[in-house]
Homo-oligomer: A and B are copies of this chain.
Amino acid sequence: MKKVKLFIPGPVELSQEVLLAMAQPLIGHRTSEFEEMLVQCWNDLREIFQTKNDTILITGSGTAAMDAAVASTISEGDEFVCMGGGKFGERFKEIAQSYGGVAREVKVEWGKTFDAAQVEKVVKESDAKAITLTHNETSTGVLHSAEAIGKIAKEYDLLFIMDAITSLGGDYVKTDEWGVDLCVAGSQKCLGAPPGLAMLSVSEKAWEVILNNKTKNYYLNLASYKKSLDKKTTPFTPSVTLVYGLHTALKELKNEGLENRIKRHRTLAKAAREAIKAVNLELFPDESIASNTVTAIKIPQGLTDEDIRGRLKKDFGILLAGGQEHLKGKIFRIGHMGNVGYLDLVEVISALEVVLKKAGHEFELGGGVTAAEEVYIYSK
């Protein structure tokens, strides 16, 4: 059986240690042994979020934590400024609207980023309570400036809600320095843990809003999680095996070191971009705003998604991601996050060269891998 290799932007492949951690017998979820493990996860996450704020775990997809952040702070009619520019950025708008809020969207073309003046204009024209941003937008491969939004949030006294689902653990997420009040992440991305856990950091300012908010929800109401924090537990039965997996993945992250890990991701991203250009393909976003955890690439004229991703899966068992929504068939995406190393990326590049050449795409064979090698050598 050919092993499938995941290069989608999460869920990522797991280390043997993380996989085996999940095969350990269950312990009681209301015991001191489990409490200890939970508190260790909270503390480790605090370091990765670079925050002094509380961190919490929710059993659910990353979207569950995005939902929790918005639902717990919004009341009917509240205005939220929502940064667009991709599927996940726009999801915040949908969540805010679903709870009866008014979403003031900052429209951004997919593949581009915002400019601060445009954001400020929307903020000034609205009576906003909060501003939302998807930091690393996987649907377009763009890394937006959280710092810029943080400044605006501070100046206009807005709650800053940020989705760092695909940046936390792979790129800088300076929660406190940037003034992020509710920072959302997911287990199955750069952290290298199994899917099914979502995490949040919550500032004092956010807690004040949450505890005074007339929130209309239950399972994802952060006020319940606050009550459980002091008791070192979770309000509802946590997924014990997933916590085992996360606990081990966080230990591995600490062993690697956050700075080393971010450097690894940045090197891989640069190698991926140079390789893509060397095989005569075009990056989807401008390189200056390209993500360091996922690379989005235009499908060249004359080729189809099937020619590239279809063949990579069939011939090499390599799974890349396609475009989403209106970008379906127009771009494809390589995830290089979590446990992906340099040689894993080389496999993808080489396989990509093979399928491109076979499909008649013109470029110098070997050029992609050579470009990646050069980046790797000069990064050391």
Contact = CB atoms under 8 A, between A and B. Distances in A.
B241 A245 contact: yes
B236 A98 contact: no
Interface string A20-51: 10111111111101000000000000000000
Interface stretch (A106-114, A211-219, A262-270, A281-289): A211-219
Contacts of A28: 4, 6, 8, 11, 319
Interface stretch (A54-62, A271-279, A340-348, A365-373): A54-62
A242 B217 CA distance: 25
Interface stretch (A63-71, A115-123, A292-300): A63-71
A255 interface: no
Number of identical monomers bound together in the oligomeric complex: 2
A13 B218 CA distance: 28
Interface string A143-171: 00000000000000000000000000000
A132 interface: no
Contacts of A329: none
Contact of A194 (B20, B26, B67, B215): B26
Contact of A31 (B95, B241, B319): B319
A219 B218 contact: no
Interface residues of A, number: 58
A309 B142 CA distance: 54
A100 interface: yes
A241 B98 contact: no
A126 interface: no
A221 interface: yes
Contacts of A11: 26, 28-29, 237, 240
B14 A25 contact: yes
A100 B75 CA distance: 12
Contacts of A24: 19
Contact of A22 (B23, B66, B67): B23
A13 B25 contact: yes
Interface string A175-197: 00000000000101000001110
A326 interface: no
Contacts of A221: 98
B63 A242 contact: no
Interface of A: 3-4, 6, 8, 10-14, 19-20, 22-31, 33, 59-64, 66-67, 70-71, 94-95, 98-100, 186, 188, 194-196, 215-221, 236-242, 245, 319
Given A196-B239, A239-B239, 10 more contacts: A3-B25, A6-B27, A13-B25, A63-B218, A64-B219, A100-B216, A195-B238, A196-B238, A219-B220, A241-B241
20 contacts: A4-B27, A11-B28, A11-B29, A14-B25, A19-B22, A19-B23, A22-B241, A31-B319, A59-B61, A61-B238, A63-B219, A67-B220, A94-B218, A98-B215, A98-B216, A98-B218, A194-B241, A195-B237, A241-B241, A242-B242
